[in-house]
Structure 1
Amino acid sequence: AETRFNSAAGGSILSTRCSETYETKTALISLFGVPLWYFSQSPRVAIQPDIYPGNCWAFKGSQGYLVVRLSMKIHPTTFTLEHIPKTLSPTGNITSAPKDFAVYGLENEYQEEGQLLGQFTYDQEGESLQMFPAPKRPERAFQIVELRIFSNWGHPEYTCLYRFRVHGEPIK
């Protein structure tokens, strides 16, 4: 049976490489003058269990990295990426959602190029939680996984990462 390994209970964020957290002191969205949210969440929010508008890690631009240490070494089989649905978005769109991304297995957190585990596209018209099976089961097991986001759905300033999870088989 598959288990997920990077919930806040056991996983940790190792690094975001050079991705810069997008922070602003002014509310990004306000309704009748009432600020709805501010971005100051840390990348750790991406492995937490709750998801509601604004509770995401926002990074500058449309390309970013997240390196996660799982609670144990596993053979990754499936990845899930979650974003708020359009219906919950105060603007009615989710242009800040990740679009094209890849997942890599790393031997250690300093490794520049890991083993590619799969390249995927998050569908902004799809379900808020989307599952992406690894194309083939990697021979090696990994405890460190890198999520690399290449593009978003059109937001010019930042990309929001709500939740990323790794599922797999623990090594026997």
Structure 2
Amino acid sequence: MNQKGITLIEMVVAMAIAAVIGGIVFSVFLNMNRTVIDQNSVVDVQSAGRNAMGGMVRILRETGLDPLGTADAGVEIATATKLRMTRDANLNGVIENGLQERITFEFSGGSLRRGYDEGTASESWTTMSDDVLNLTFTYLDAENDPVTDPFKVRVIIFNLTLRDDKSGGGNFTRSLTTTVQGRNL
């Protein structure tokens, strides 16, 4: 019998080889997809952290702005997880409510929050970043020595640690630290 074609056994072997190769390709694809998702999450967390820190730095550089010397602007509260400062943003010599001249940054419930006019009728809060694992403030005086008295603060160092979950389980963290020298303190 000189018939041309393939036998059933040859067909089964070919299908088995194709299935193994397909399984390997699919496994590689899944791992690569998971890695891309995780890397995108890392980028998102780092970007959110940099944006939050950038916004804080812009405001903190104005701490104590008081060109007329009558507003008594400066640092009001200086704890490890909360900072409240004032600035005479409209340059009229008075810290006024409703004009974002009293600003608070705090770590609360896994979020970095910014508040305007805390403790007044015009108080408002916004979340600057979620998934915050930790936020710590360190305060230095004019000689770069640690200080707890808000009126002696001249330099503010803050560390922001953010966290996100990996797609395959577990999580990753990113920490960002910066130092702000008060221009008006």
Check whether TM > 0.5.
Answer: no
The structure that is strand-richer by fraction is 1
- The two structures have a TM-score, normalised by structure 1, of 0.29
Q: Which has the larger radius of gyration?
A: 2
Which structure's relative contact order is higher, taking Cα pairs within 8 Å and 6+ residues apart? 1
